[in-house]
A and B are shown apart, each in its own frame.
Chain A
């Protein structure tokens, strides 16, 4: 039932998330500057690299997800939900700067929604994962 894949000391998923996070973080600082300087014209160039990132991320994502044990599908869904709430970053970009009030409020509501997802997603995933114990662990209690 469970494929006992020895991936090594690093859990594959966790490693990829951290690595991608750091890489995208550094990319984001660069492309944010470009987009503000020359809008429109840069769009076509960024589209290609953005599309590339999308394809790569989908490929990696499918591979990571398909190795997740079936036992953990429920916490998997809540975890991926929390991760996609990285959309809070987009909401901050909208709500932060000096923008018209309506837009500011749209952004703020989006921040609330995303933060709710992050907080409840990570907390409930951890709560569920804590419950999975093997027989020896239960008997030891």
Chain B
């Protein structure tokens, strides 16, 4: 998957390898319940196909849901193997096997409930704001510590079956409580982390079942999650522990943010004349664009601008959207050619030469406070430096603050104009202006 052109070949190879492995397993001696397994496969397919048809704005939720299924499978198989071996006699449960099962069940259950919580927050069934309470971190860590302790005891007393359900319940609770204090905009990191955990629980299953294929596949999934988490954390300039345990919503600005100046609203006609004269444009999309379903309108506008002689680029911040790469997929769906999509660093490099920068539904990722104001909660976070362009047009519904709850210094800069209104409506208005001439 190095390049979009060749990526689909990678998918086909994956499918081929998987069919090979499943066929090999089904040929194993001792398998009897083929009928039930076939039924289970049919049910799984029946759930899987509609899940793959969700609208692309729902992909983060679907991804979180599939992480939870992965964790569920690991937890169930671990529990099943434990009880199988307990029945077969004391000799089966070697120390190594108990450690492996403990790891598998712990990781599996935490991933299961944690991912369900993440999916709920993304789907906004659960409140997206960070839910915090006193001594929360101590409580969470004690839950985890207790579960690990039970596993340790189990290693030396494998026949104490009553410990096992305790471990499961503790892990399930830990999963819920871990994700509870994390806010909606931190989701990209959390999803990547859960991806890594789901992979690690598959690795643990591989150790339990002595199946090297599982270890390999799980390691691949885990590495992917790890790399993505690192990228996300760097892009937000926060560490893992800070994301997991430092509820962002509770962080208050250290300095009192009184910004001087006033915001300068702009009308559709004025925007049109600025855009018409622009030779270069950078569009910075954010989650707000996805919410407003404005990606098709953006593409229409940029196509018109291109035929007018403007060079169009899209600047994609790593944490734009609710999961890594989300913006790219949404824009690709709207038929934006992917050679117009640029990473943050590439766009920042040329920003001084850009005539117009249009920010649609993005807020914190373009806030210069990250660069200029030491006391700000987002200080140090890499941003798309739209204020260095000659003109910035900010599409926003109102002056409500973004997720971080802080003032955006960008609005008060000399070169920034605010185009208030629903993004889709504003963009369609601009398209109409263009079509008039």
Contact = CB atoms under 8 A, between A and B. Distances in A.
A140 to B, nearest CB: 11
B329 interface: yes
A111 B67 CA distance: 15
B215 A50 contact: yes
Contact of B63 (A78, A85, A92): A78
Nearest to A118: B18
Nearest to A42: B210
B92 interface: yes
Interface stretch (B23-31, B239-247, B275-283, B357-365): B23-31
Nearest to B60: A74
Contact of B2 (A11, A35, A129): A11
B96 A43 contact: yes
Interface in A33-51: 35, 39-40, 43-44, 46-47, 49-50
Given A40-B92, A119-B45, A68 B13 contact: no
Contacts of A109: 40, 72, 76
B293 interface: no
Interface residues of B, number: 115
A106 B76 contact: yes
B67 A81 contact: yes
A8 B232 CA distance: 30
Interface in B43-88: 43-45, 47-49, 51-52, 54, 56, 59, 62-63, 66-67, 69-70, 72-74, 76-77, 79-81, 83-84, 87
Nearest to B26: A92
B325 to A, nearest CB: 3
A100 to B, nearest CB: 7
B70 A1 contact: no
A115 B96 contact: no
A79 B49 CA distance: 15
For chain A, the bracket of interface size reads 35 or more
Given A40-B94, A80-B224, A92-B22, A71 B66 contact: no
Contact of A107 (B4, B14, B76, B92): B76
Contact of A14 (B14, B44, B62, B69): B14
B73 to A, nearest CB: 4
Nearest to B68: A113
Nearest to B50: A120
B28 A93 contact: yes
A58 B94 contact: no
A108 B37 contact: yes
Nearest to B203: A54
Contact of A133 (B37, B216, B337): B337
Interface in A48-90: 49-50, 53-54, 57-58, 60-62, 64-90
B387 to A, nearest CB: 22
Interface in B316-363: 318, 323-326, 328-329, 332-333, 335, 337-343, 346
Would you call the interface of chain A mostly helix, strand, loop, or mixed?
helix
B18 A86 contact: yes
B422 interface: no
Contacts of A93: 25, 28, 209, 211
Interface in A114-130: 114-130
A39 B37 contact: no
Contact of B192 (A77, A100, A102, A103): A77
Interface string B192-223: 10010011001101111111111111111111
Contacts of B73: 85, 87-88, 90-91, 110, 113-114, 117
Contacts of A54: 203, 206-207, 215, 219
Given A80-B221, A81-B66, A84-B220, 16 more contacts: A5-B2, A13-B13, A21-B17, A29-B24, A54-B203, A54-B206, A61-B223, A64-B220, A67-B2, A84-B221, A86-B202, A89-B211, A92-B22, A94-B84, A117-B73, A123-B48
29 contacts: A1-B342, A5-B2, A21-B21, A21-B213, A24-B216, A25-B21, A27-B213, A28-B25, A46-B210, A61-B220, A70-B318, A75-B325, A77-B195, A78-B66, A84-B199, A90-B73, A90-B77, A92-B31, A93-B209, A96-B37, A107-B80, A112-B47, A115-B41, A123-B48, A124-B62, A125-B11, A128-B329, A130-B8, A133-B338
Interface of A: 1-5, 7, 11-15, 17-18, 20-22, 24-25, 27-29, 31-32, 35, 39-40, 43-44, 46-47, 49-50, 53-54, 57-58, 60-62, 64-100, 102-104, 106-135, 137-138
